[in-house]
Structure 1
Amino acid sequence: MSTTFYLLFLLLLSITAATVVGITTVSSDIAALKAIKSAVNPATIPSYTCLYSWDFTSDPCSPPHVTHFLCGLSCSGNRVTQLTLDPAGYSGTLSPLISQLLQLTTIDLSDNKLSGPIPNSLFTLPNLQTLILGSNSFSGVIPPSITNLKKLQTLDISHNYLSGSLPNSLTLLTELTRLDLSFNKLTGPIPNLPKNLIQLALKSNSLSGYIQQQPFTGLTQLEVIELSQNSLTGTIPGWFFLTPSLQQVNLANNNFTGVEILKPVNDNSLVAVDLGYNKISGYPPANFSTYPMLASLTLSYNKLRGRIPLEYKRFSRLFLDGNYLTELSPEFFSRKVSISGSVGDNCLRKCPVTSELCLKKQKPLWICRQVYHGKLKLKL
């Protein structure tokens, strides 16, 4: 009985070994991998990198990978499913033959120096879920054909040189939850957005125009909005802060001139709002204090004037420096209140230098009198 069991075990082992040895990557995938390596400048492929280990004298998907194909790709059976190059500073272009890797679910080529346009053929991959090309030197526009990636969940092409406007057809990417196109040269208005987005990052582009309601309609899962360092303008609408799941908003370094009067809310997820470095004038919006979860508020370097709302003392982080504010309640400095931040570089008459909030000096009296047309009589 034991002999029979042993013979069956050896038979099973030999079949398994034969199966492993028998794995042969499909020829179209091998051709694509060869083209991808060939499109990279050989001088930027040091011996310690993934691409250096791509030696096509062995099969890419056949284990064990002892000396060849040590990293940079993963397979399922005889098809390549992940292309994840190491951040080694590879330069060159991305071969259009990447489209032959039909079973790819993940592409991550981030933190290299690849340049030129993103090949249109890439947008035909039917199973792609993650596309990360951040921190390279890709240029050109984002074509409407990107919406062919029906299964895409993560799109990150930040820190490149993409230009042109964003296509409204992005709404067709119904599975997309994370979109990061920050630090490019994108222009035009904010387009209509995919309804399942959780994170939206378009920081440091040249986007312009007003914040319209249509692009954000139906985005019930959106938690993070990063639109700082653009050229957006007009009044920030009150509905914008009522997006159901919204937790973090950064609209700093734009050209906004006002904040619409906010409705008091009891059920809201906002934790942090940054509206610094805009052109917002008038009084500080007091209703921000009604947002139950809001802990950090930044309105630095705008054109705010008048008193700092006493209700702001409930925030744990408060940055109001660089405005023309004139009044601050002593209650901000009681032992029961713990606030980090700054109210310096304003026109406050009583701001104790012993407080962290007051470390920055206030504006000279003559500047404040000029802003208030000589009506500010008291000494600072």
Structure 2
Amino acid sequence: MSNFLFLLLLCVSSVFLLLSQIQAATLPSDINALKAFKASINPNSIPSWSCLGSWNFSFDPCSLPHRSYFVCGISCSPDSTRVTSLVVDPVGYSGTLTPLLSQLTQLTQLELSDNSFYGTIPSSIFSLTSLEILSLRSNYFSGNIPPSLTNLTSLQSLDISNNAFTGTLPVTLSSLSSLTSMDLSFNKLTGSLPKLPPNLVQLALKANSLSGSLSQSSFEGLTQLEVVELSANRLTGDVQGWFFLLPSLQQVDLANNSFTSVEIWKPGNANNSELVAVDLGFNKLEGYLPINLASFPKLSAVTLRYNRFRGPIPWDYYKKVRDQNLRRLFLDGNFLNGKPPAGFFVAGGSGSSVVGSFGDNCLASCPASSQLCLPSQKPTSMCRQVYGHKPSL
């Protein structure tokens, strides 16, 4: 009899264990949010083999193990009661965002990149104060970026690039004190740069319609900023010395704007700089080439192509190439004249290690046999119009 009771108790405990595993563990409001999220997506855009294709709400989303349902797309808290991450696969899901996503109050990561979501972002999404990563890259989202974005006080990474967002950047953007990476490139944003978040490491705002100048107040206190990508906008004015001397700056891309000058600063100020690459190509920069760039000890790539620079190529640029620091140098498409330093063209010498172009200028004695001299120099008549005489030989 005792053996029978033991076996009975064992069977009962096994049943209770099985029931506890299939009993819903996820908070009902989280389940409702996931149901609404899937329901807002066009069923024809959900392949059967995709993450959303595996979502079957007859099974609890956070219960383990995930053998057939909810095999990907979500992560849950250790106690299997709350959804903490929503990361869908890039298969072309098409639909709008449901406001009910705001019920996922423990969500730390929302990534919907490389799909076909469209419409505006519901304002309720910006109540997710635990959110650390928000990535909506490469979709069709539109509308303004609302000031309520700054309610995401835990946000560390923001990527909404390659969409159709319009309007200006929130003036309170600097209140996102946890933000270290921000990419808003390839949208239709306008206006000037506001004061930026203080702990930014990477800033990308390429291919928008931003205007105005680079204001020091926008970058004030950004001691950790390493990468700035502002190419293909409508920025104007001077590129001033303080900008290049930001303490952690490594890569700068300001190409395809309308900057008109580069400010001169004391060379010694750059001694501790981390600057590695500068691209100021396709602007309206005038005057002589900024000799100060050669004072940055780690600088290995300089692009100043297709501006309005005049005068000779500074010896300091060749010296930096000779010392095997500068590896890429693009000066083509300006009005540079005189003879470039001969060391650039010494076969087998240190100058031969540089990659770039001096073509489409007004240079004399630029060897046609050298790749650096391609494309060919401007016609003499054009150079004479610029200098008022035949360029010096």
Q: Deviations over 1:203-240 (max 9, x none)?
A: 00000001110010000000000000000001111110
Contact 1:262 1:288 (8 Å CA) reproduced: no
1:22 Cα deviation (Å)?
A: 4.7
Contact 1:195 1:219 (8 Å CA) reproduced: yes
CA RMSD of aligned residues (A): 1.8
Label 1:329 to 1:21 Cα distance change in 2 as closer, same or farther (>3 A): same
Task: Identify which of 184, 189, 199 aligns with 2:192.
Answer: 189
What code does the residue aligned with 1:282 have?
G
Label 1:377 to 1:216 Cα distance change in 2 as closer, same or farther (>3 A): closer
Deviation beyond 3 Å, 4+ runs, structure 1: 13-23
Question: Which whole-Å CA distance do the structure 1 matches of 2:308 and 2:94 have between them?
Answer: 46
Question: Which whole-Å CA distance do the structure 1 matches of 2:391 and 2:247 have between them?
Answer: 42
What code does the residue aligned with 1:329 have?
P
Question: Which whole-Å CA distance do the structure 2 matches of 1:19 and 1:375 have between them?
Answer: 90
Question: Which whole-Å CA distance do the structure 2 matches of 1:250 and 1:99 have between them?
Answer: 36
Question: Which whole-Å CA distance do the structure 2 matches of 1:20 and 1:174 have between them?
Answer: 41
What code does the residue aligned with 1:46 have?
P
Which residue pairs with 1:4 in the alignment? none
Question: Which whole-Å CA distance do the structure 1 matches of 2:357 and 2:276 have between them?
Answer: 18
What code does the residue aligned with 1:368 have?
C
Residue 232 of structure 2 aligns to a residue whose secondary structure is coil
Q: Deviations over 1:153-195 (max 9, x none)?
A: 0000000000000012111111000010000000000111110
Q: Does 1:211 align with 2:214?
A: yes
Question: Which whole-Å CA distance do the structure 1 matches of 2:278 and 2:392 have between them?
Answer: 34
What percentage of aligned pairs have identical amino acids? 58
Residue 168 of structure 1 aligns to a residue whose secondary structure is coil
Question: Which whole-Å CA distance do the structure 1 matches of 2:70 and 2:141 have between them?
Answer: 26
TM-score normalised to the size of structure 2? 0.91
Which residue pairs with 2:356 in the alignment? 341
What code does the residue aligned with 2:34 have?
L
Contact 2:22 2:60 (8 Å CA) reproduced: no
Q: Does 1:278 align with 2:279?
A: no
Which residue pairs with 2:368 in the alignment? 353
Residue 172 of structure 2 aligns to a residue whose secondary structure is helix
Q: Does 1:268 align with 2:273?
A: yes
Which residue pairs with 1:44 in the alignment? 45
TM-score normalised to the size of structure 1? 0.94
What code does the residue aligned with 2:317 have?
Y
Which residue pairs with 1:304 in the alignment? 309
1:150 Cα deviation (Å)?
A: 0.6
The runs of 5 or more residues in structure 2 that have no matched partner are: 1-6, 321-325
Q: Deviations over 1:311-362 (max 9, x none)?
A: 1122111000100111211122231222111111111111112322113111
Residue 363 of structure 2 aligns to a residue whose secondary structure is coil
Question: Which whole-Å CA distance do the structure 2 matches of 1:20 and 1:274 have between them?
Answer: 58
Label 1:332 to 1:17 Cα distance change in 2 as closer, same or farther (>3 A): farther
Contact 2:51 2:73 (8 Å CA) reproduced: yes
The runs of 5 or more residues in structure 1 that have no matched partner are: 1-6
Which residue pairs with 1:139 in the alignment? 142
Task: Identify which of 351, 364, 372 aligns with 2:379.
Answer: 364
Contact 2:179 2:200 (8 Å CA) reproduced: yes
1:271 Cα deviation (Å)?
A: 0.2
1:374 Cα deviation (Å)?
A: 2.9
Residue 350 of structure 2 aligns to a residue whose secondary structure is coil
Residue 222 of structure 1 aligns to a residue whose secondary structure is coil
Which residue pairs with 2:323 in the alignment? none
1:370 Cα deviation (Å)?
A: 1.4
Contact 1:251 1:274 (8 Å CA) reproduced: yes
Question: Which whole-Å CA distance do the structure 1 matches of 2:293 and 2:243 have between them?
Answer: 13
Question: Which whole-Å CA distance do the structure 2 matches of 1:307 and 1:72 have between them?
Answer: 58
Contact 1:190 1:207 (8 Å CA) reproduced: yes
